Amino acid sequence: MYIAMNRFKVKKGSEDAFEKVWASRDSYLDRMAGFVEFHLLKGPEADDHTLYSSHTVWASHADFEAWTKSEEFRVAHARAGNNSTTGTLYLEHPKFEGFEVKQTLTRKGAAA
């Protein structure tokens, strides 16, 4: 399994607009082989921003790589800019982090 994450420093006061962008977008992820799940995570607040992370789980690193080279990826990210009607939403370019899963624990009886 492979987890791909992007961290965003969203400007204070832009949290609702940022979340609306994600809620209203067409992701096309569910069309991709190896896609498992997506999460938009809201993290701690700092003086000038709130930390967010987009988090996708893939069956393999190869499946993630195929996504990044697909037409679906290009279309999904065509409107993924940092601007809204009220200005920029985040302070800097998102930071990508990719992880190969080495161990997974689940609650007994929980669906895997």
Domain segments of the chain as ranges:
2-100
8 A C-beta contact, residue 65 and residue 30: no
Q: What single-letter amino acid sits at 4?
A: A
Instruction: Could you please state the CATH topology (level 3) that the domain comprising 2-100 is classified under.
Output: Alpha-Beta Plaits (3.30.70)
Between 90 and 48, name the one with better pLDDT.
Answer: 48
Helix (H) or strand (E) holding 32: none
Whole-prediction pTM:
0.83
Round to whole Å and give the CA distance between 84 and 87.
Answer: 5
Taking only the tens place, the pLDDT of each residue in 48-76 is 999 999 999 999 999 999 999 999 988 88
8 A C-beta contact, residue 2 and residue 98: yes
Round to whole Å and give the CA distance between 107 and 112.
Answer: 9
